[in-house]
Amino acid sequence: MSLARRLIPLVLTLAACRASQEIPRSQDVSGREPPSPAEPETFADPAAPAAPAAPAQAPRAAAMANGTAPSLQNAPQGLPQAAALQPVTPVTPAPYDLAQDLRARSDYAKQKLGRGTLTTVLDSYVVVAPPGWTQAELQTSVSLMQNAMTAFYTGRFDKKPERAITVYLFPRAQPYNAFCKAEFNENPCMSIYGFYQPSNRAMVMNAGLGLGTLTHELVHPLVEADFNDAPTWLNEGIASVFEAPVIPRKGEIHGAKNWRYPILREAMRRDPGHVKLSTLFHISDEEFRGDNEGRNYALARYVCQWMDSQNKLWSFYHGFRDGYADDHKGLVAFHNVMQKTPEELDAAFERWLLAL
Ligand SMILES: [Zn+2]
């Protein structure tokens, strides 16, 4: 079952997000069977109350490629009926133009959100600030995003998203929910914090509750571009580390202990046999999103933070990515970097966690 139809119950404290793709591939970032192009996934925050999924939509690549403003609801819904009945002369689509797409997205946002809406382009991202921000607050948010992106591209992610992504940054809940109502016919939004809608390549954020969701969500399009086959635990584990970003200097980013810690401690206390480093490597993507999703997020996050604390997270990530064809679980990559198997390091991980 596609996630577009199966919104996942969310963990109450923070937005989790998920990435997906517009192009079919062998395995999507959540590890499920590749969705059909007509069934883009919309991911809800594990904390939010269940809400109806966004309707399945046709890929927007054509509209974006020719610079049409990327309407979030009214894009063409696939080929017209007649096209299936009559011979069609193949038309070579115009090559994708990133600069044009960025401009179109900026224009679209200004048109939808009105005068006073500010937009800033950061690499492949258009940051949209609707009216209501103070200049200082907005500067803080944009700087955080800028610093995080610089670090993400410094020895971490090698490939950048090829297509533009819009980041709608609302200063508080009211305009955030009003936008969801206007754009997605959803009120309130599916998450109180924010979400990423891969089909439109749009992040919609309520910055009023903090910016941790933003630095989490920013990771997903990067994983999508850089390691499309990454298992969900790795994708969400890395993203979750940056919910509590620590940027000690330009080009560097780590994560601090955060609200997921007590969830993990409690899960380990209740079910020590199933909540350990080695279980993560054998958990399917479906299981990750299952009944124990909150616990799995917490475990994945702290395993990634543990590796990052030893300066080994990114060697592992790069080894896993580059050897994926022969090492779907990342066990070879893990051993190459850590010199031991996950089972051999279960106790060491637990010791580190308990002392955190
Ligand atoms: Zn996420």
Distance 233 CA to ligand 1 centre (A): 10
**pLDDT-based confidence at residue 108 (cuts at 50, 70, 90):** very high
Least confident of 56-70, 217-231, 292-306, 331-345: 56-70
Residue 213 CA, ligand 1 centroid: distance in Å: 8
CA distance 263 to 301: 11
Report d(CA 158, CA 312) in Å as an integer: 17
Q: Give me ligand 1 centre to Cα 9, in Å.
A: 14
Q: How far is CA 218 from CA 94, 157, 203, 221, 341, in A?
A: 28, 12, 8, 6, 30
For 108, list phi and psi in degrees, rounded to 5.
-60, -45
Give mean pLDDT, residues 242-258. Answer: 96
For residue 300, report the distance from its CA to the centre of ligand 1, in Å.
11
Q: Compute, in angstroms, the gap from residue 126 CA to the centroid of ligand 1.
A: 20
pLDDT higher than 80, residue 193 = yes
Instruction: Quote the CA–CA distance of 155 and 82 in Å, as a whole number.
Output: 50
Task: Say how many Å lie between the CA of residue 217 and the centre of ligand 1.
Answer: 6
| pLDDT for residue 101 is more than 90 | yes
Q: How high is the mean pLDDT of the chain?
A: 79
Q: How far is the CA of 93 from the centre of ligand 1 (A)?
A: 32
Helix 342-355 and helix 260-270: axis angle, to 10°?
A: 120
Ligand 1 mean position, distance from CA 240 (Å): 7
For 32-75, the pLDDT digits (tens) are 223 333 323 344 334 333 333 333 333 333 333 333 334 444 33
Q: How confident is the model at residue 209 (pLDDT cuts 50, 70, 90)?
A: confident
- The residues with which 255 forms a beta bridge, in sequence order, are 245
Radius of gyration, alpha carbons of the chain:
20
List, in order, residues 6 or more apart from 46 with CB less than 8 Å away.
8, 9, 10, 11, 15, 16, 293, 294, 297
What whole-number percentage of the chain has pLDDT above 70?
Answer: 75
pLDDT band of residue 2 (cuts 50, 70, 90) is very low
Q: How far is the CA of 108 from the centre of ligand 1 (A)?
A: 26
Query: What are the φ and ψ backbone dihedral angles of 102, each rounded to 5 degrees?
Result: -60, -45
| Burial bucket for residue 210 (CB in 10 Å: 0-12, 13-18, 19+) | middle
Mean pLDDT lowest for which of 48-52, 81-85, 137-141, 164-168?
48-52
